[in-house]
Amino acid sequence: MPLAPDRPAARLLVWLGVVPFLLFALLFLILPTLQVVTGAFRTPDGSATLQNIKGLLTPSILRALALSLKLSLLTAALGCVLGLLLAAAVTRGGLPGWLRGVTMTFSGVASNFAGVPLAFAFIATLGRLGLITVILRDWFGINLMATGFNLISFPGLALAYLYFQIPLMVLIITPALDGLRKDWREAAESLGATGAQYWRMVALPVLWPSLLGTFALLFANAFGAVATAMALTGSSLSILPIILFAQIRGDVLQDPHLGYAVAFAMIFFTGIANLIYVTLRARAERWQK
Amino acid sequence: MKSGRIFSALFFGLACLYFLLPLVGTLEFSLRARRGEYSLDAYRNVLADPQFHQTIGYSFILSLATIVLGVLIVAPTAFWVRLKLPRLRPVVEFLTLMPLVIPPIVIVFGYIRLYNTSSWLPLLGSAAGSDFLLVCGYATLSLPYMYRAIDTGLRAIDVGTLTEAAQSLGAGWVTVLARVILPNILTAILSGAFLTFAIVIGEYVLAALLNRPAFGPYMVWMGGNKAYEPAALAVVAFGITWASMGLIQLFSRFSKHTQARR
């Protein structure tokens, strides 16, 4: 080997190998993030302050934050439960084996089918002239709009978010379900456990860290998303990222440093969620070895 | 477990309805442009729109640039960390996961404040600079996927032995990387590349906030101004995502065969 790590010059050369990556990460990931975080605690002239964070406590921003939290928590919870049921149905529900492959492939596609086209798909299906709206009206005489359902609203947006949340859950939880060993089930049954008891007392406790960890990931996934909401509701539904988007575009909060504080709040929540995910992930992997 | 099977089948059926109806709905809607009959008018209008060609061409070129930049940054680093600096692995892994923690809108906000016209590196002062910044932003967003794909590929081969063998035959580092390591992890790189492509081609937030004429902002503009064309665009976008993911599956299946033969 030309580079023996025992010579100091060679050791330095070894470190040179990662310089391009670290430089890239510094310029396009770390510095921009630090800029936002430090900006949240500074006045326009550069001195330290907590005024920007206090500025978050205005009714309009708090309302947006609450709406964002509600949307992310709801779609993460529903995504977890429904994704787990779907994954359980195709892996251990006694359905034909090929459905599993189809479901996994489709989940890979659907979890990436977010953003603007997803919003269009839901408008074309459940919007004023959408397929389901028209079918309900023409075939069943049901006026979907009159029932109080409105796609351009909180439930409509949640319904659209589930389109990428459920598949993401399926992708992550299926390996964990595969980690449930057959002998555990047999052992439980030989001790007289029913199917429900097996799930409640063996499977779920083993899956718990995976479930909670994935919940945190789905939460962060929904909390940072903006394109779907933007294309579906315009800016009529003020979730936190949409407020930030409008602020970056045109300083609607009329205080650039309040924008930093909003961005900081977003990192704060997605950061906590990911911390939970990473911690629980490490725990969950113990069972998958 | 008969009841379990019935429940599974029922639930799977409901899931199919939820996931397939929007696709059918979009397809049907996109064919409705002519009153009273199905037609391809919406697609014809989209294809006849020069803006469509410009924006999708722009996003296509940008995603290629992103893939090249991503591979150039990630592949040598992942290789080097595996071979020489395993200590640094947790740090590199942490950095590559950061874009999943920090929402894209926050990252681009940082860019705008850091690289505006009055800053030390005024990338946003010119169109070329903005394009460059956008490519770097996309490479950042795809970092988690690119790194994971390439690192998985490297795990499957014996990096140390291959490198030593090549070096004992007189190969330099560039030769080792380009002619020994790269061909061996090509399928991994391709799967990272197609995932990157699927992310970049319809991306909206970064392109919109950096004011670049990409496909994502074009779709949003269409959504606000046209009725049936957005559905046609959604069908096109879904087709692109589907093709990218399908190709990943194809390549990974292909690589499994070649590995089994060894």
The answer to whether residue A278 sits within a structural domain is yes
A15: containing domain: 1-40
**Residue among A29, A227, A263 whose CB faces B205 most closely:** A227
Mutate to test the interface with B, among A26, A29, A105 (most CBs of B within 10 A): A29
Whole-complex ipTM:
0.89
If asked whether residues A71 and A32 sit together in one domain, one would say no
If asked whether residues A8 and A105 sit together in one domain, one would say no
If asked whether residues A166 and A30 sit together in one domain, one would say no
Domain ranges of chain B: 40-261
Residues from chain A that touch B81, judged by Cβ atoms under 8 A, are 18
Q: What is the per-residue pLDDT for B261?
A: 43
- Reported as a single tens digit per residue, the pLDDT across B71-90 is 999 999 999 999 888 889 98
Tokens standing for A277?
Answer: 């995910």
**Does A7 score more than 80 pLDDT?**
no
Domain CATH code at residue A213: 1.10.3720.10
Lowest-confidence segment of B58-62, B91-95, B133-137 by average pLDDT: B91-95
**Residue among A125, A270, A271 whose CB faces B22 most closely:** A125
Domain B40-261, architecture per CATH: Orthogonal Bundle (1.10)
Of the two residues B105 and A280, the one the predictor is more confident about is: B105
Tokens standing for B222?
Answer: 């269409």
Is A195–B4 a contact, with Cβ atoms under 8 angstroms apart? yes
The answer to whether residue A52 sits within a structural domain is no
Residues from chain A that touch B248, judged by Cβ atoms under 8 A, are 108
Q: What is the per-residue pLDDT for A125?
A: 92
* Amino acid, res. B6: I
**Is A115 an 8 Å CB contact of chain B?**
yes
Is B223–A116 a contact, with Cβ atoms under 8 angstroms apart? yes
What's the CA gap between A248 and B106, in Å, rounded?
A: 10
Distance from CA of B253 to the nearest CA of A (A): 13
**Residue among B103, B202, B223 whose CB faces A266 most closely:** B103
Q: What is the per-residue pLDDT for A194?
A: 82
The answer to whether residue A50 sits within a structural domain is no
**Does A4 score more than 60 pLDDT?**
no
What's the CA gap between B102 and B139, in Å, rounded?
A: 14
Total-model pTM: 0.89
**Residue among B110, B203, B220 whose CB faces A33 most closely:** B110
Q: pLDDT band at residue A195, thresholds of 50, 70 and 90?
A: confident
Is B106–A266 a contact, with Cβ atoms under 8 angstroms apart? yes
Percent of chain B with pLDDT over 70: 96
If asked whether residues A10 and A102 sit together in one domain, one would say no
Is A267–B198 a contact, with Cβ atoms under 8 angstroms apart? no
Residues from chain B that touch A5, judged by Cβ atoms under 8 A, are 84
**Is A86 an 8 Å CB contact of chain B?**
yes
- Reported as a single tens digit per residue, the pLDDT across A142-191 is 887 777 778 888 999 999 999 999 999 999 899 888 888 888 888 888 88
What's the CA gap between B200 and B64, in Å, rounded?
A: 9
Inter-residue contact A206 to A143 (CB < 8 Å): no
What's the CA gap between A219 and B26, in Å, rounded?
A: 27
Inter-residue contact A214 to A169 (CB < 8 Å): yes
A42 three-class SS: strand
Residues from chain A that touch B30, judged by Cβ atoms under 8 A, are 124
Inter-residue contact B5 to A95 (CB < 8 Å): yes
**Does B256 score more than 70 pLDDT?**
no
Is B113–A163 a contact, with Cβ atoms under 8 angstroms apart? no
Q: What is the per-residue pLDDT for B262?
A: 41
- Reported as a single tens digit per residue, the pLDDT across B83-114 is 888 889 989 999 998 998 899 999 999 999 99
What is the tally of structural domains in chain A?
A: 2
**Is A166 an 8 Å CB contact of chain B?**
yes
Inter-residue contact A34 to B91 (CB < 8 Å): no
Q: pLDDT band at residue A255, thresholds of 50, 70 and 90?
A: confident
- Reported as a single tens digit per residue, the pLDDT across B14-56 is 999 999 999 999 999 999 888 888 999 999 999 999 999 999 9
Q: Where are the alpha helices (DSSP H) in A111-148?
A: 116-126, 131-140
If asked whether residues A27 and A105 sit together in one domain, one would say no
What's the CA gap between A219 and A213, in Å, rounded?
A: 10
- Reported as a single tens digit per residue, the pLDDT across B188-203 is 899 899 999 999 998 9
Percent of chain B with pLDDT over 90: 60
If asked whether residues A2 and A141 sit together in one domain, one would say no
Q: What is the per-residue pLDDT for A1?
A: 46
**Is A126 an 8 Å CB contact of chain B?**
yes
Q: What is the pLDDT averaged over residues A12-28?
A: 90
CB pairs under 8 A between A and B: 256
The answer to whether residue A51 sits within a structural domain is no
Tokens standing for A267?
Answer: 């990192």
Taking Cα atoms as reference points, which of A92, A90, A279, A272 lies closest to residue A167?
A: A90
Which positions ≥6 away from B86 have C-beta within 8 Å? none
Residues from chain B that touch A195, judged by Cβ atoms under 8 A, are 1, 4
If asked whether residues A243 and A124 sit together in one domain, one would say yes
**Residue among B73, B102, B103 whose CB faces A24 most closely:** B73
**Residue among A18, A94, A122 whose CB faces B22 most closely:** A122
